[in-house]
Amino acid sequence: MAEATDDRLRLLIERIERLEEEKKGIADDIRDVYAEAKAVGYDTKIMRQIIRLRKMKPDDRSEQETILETYKAALGMG
């Protein structure tokens, strides 16, 4: 029984290690795409904001934009 448990633990650890490697590869690919975008003149900070906004639900995005506008108005920022 202990050997089966040890084997399962080893397999789980190995899966996590493989996934971590894949995650690193994907992060490198994303970094390359941002570098390419920057090289052709796009603002990568704005691109990251757009991506973050697109991940949000429309209602959450709308609420955040409303709060931002309220704060800006309170601070005299337009």
Residue 3: is its pLDDT beyond 90?
no
Residue with tokens 């609420």: 63
Q: Which DSSP state fits 43?
A: -
Tokens, residue 64:
């955040």
C-alpha neighbours within 13 Å on the C-beta side of residue 75: 7
Q: What whole-number distance in Å separates Cα of residue 12 and Cα of residue 1?
A: 17
Mean pLDDT on 27-41: 98
| 4-15 tens-digit pLDDT | 899 999 999 999
Q: Which DSSP state fits 71?
A: H
Average pLDDT, the chain: 96
The tally of domains found in the chain comes to 1
Mean pLDDT on 57-75: 96
Domain that holds residue 52: 2-74
